[in-house]
Amino acid sequence: MTWDAQTAALLGAIGGGLAIIALVLITVIFLRMARMRRDYLLLQAEGSQDSFIEVVARKTQEVGLLREQVELLHAQLLHTREELAKAIRHVGVVRFDAFGDMGGRMSFTAALVDDHGDGIILTTIHARSESRTYIRGLRAGQADSELSPEEDQAVDQVLRSLPS
């Protein structure tokens, strides 16, 4: 088979074009490989440094431990709230004159309750020569016996301060 000069030139041009395309592809692949190598080196440890993967693994473990601690703290907080609801922490006080001739409102009634309205009513009646103290129980804001007007007022005062 004989080739004329035109066919040889065409084949040479096609071969040159393919060579240029191959050169461009090789350059693109080389650049991508260089970028991948740089990224890979970033993940590798240099000298005494930890690798990126080791650091991420350690941080993931630390986050897991922190989650456990938060769950424990949440459980403790719920328990503390339950205990605090049972603590006597709401107080209503009414001072009054038990006897019209005394003055100074030396007698008093104090209602002391927890968040559920359970507690006591402490009443002290002050007279000229003596003082007497009485105590009554409260369950859910209700007294176990009939109350005086001052005791009613102290209980109403303290029940208004309870959380709803």
Are 59 and 13 in a shared domain?
Answer: yes
Q: How far is CA 106 from CA 90, 91, 103, 135, 160, in A?
A: 22, 18, 7, 17, 25
Are 63 and 123 in a shared domain?
Answer: no
Are 123 and 150 in a shared domain?
Answer: yes
- Give the count of domains, the chain: 2
Are 148 and 124 in a shared domain?
Answer: yes
Contact between residue 106 and residue 126 where contact means Cβ atoms under 8 Å apart: yes
Please give the mean pLDDT across all residues of the chain.
88
Question: Could you give the angle at the alpha carbon of 84 between the alpha carbons of 116 and 79, nearest 5°?
Answer: 115
Q: Please tell me the predicted confidence (pLDDT) of residue 133.
A: 95
Q: Please tell me the predicted confidence (pLDDT) of residue 47.
A: 63
Q: How far apart are CA 162 and CA 42, in angstroms?
A: 60
pTM: 0.56
Are 67 and 119 in a shared domain?
Answer: no
Q: How far is CA 88 from CA 26, 51, 117, in A?
A: 82, 56, 9
pLDDT tens for 10-25 read 888 999 999 999 999 9
Q: Please tell me the predicted confidence (pLDDT) of residue 158.
A: 94
Are 11 and 78 in a shared domain?
Answer: yes
Are 149 and 126 in a shared domain?
Answer: yes
Are 101 and 31 in a shared domain?
Answer: no
Contact between residue 113 and residue 123 where contact means Cβ atoms under 8 Å apart: no
Are 31 and 65 in a shared domain?
Answer: yes
Are 112 and 137 in a shared domain?
Answer: yes
Handedness of CA 38, 42, 48, 50 (dihedral sign): negative
Q: How far apart are CA 112 and CA 120, in angstroms?
A: 5
Are 75 and 102 in a shared domain?
Answer: no
Q: Please tell me the predicted confidence (pLDDT) of residue 70.
A: 97
pLDDT tens for 37-77 read 887 776 676 666 777 778 888 899 999 999 999 999 999 99
* Residue-range definition of the domain harbouring residue 135: 90-160
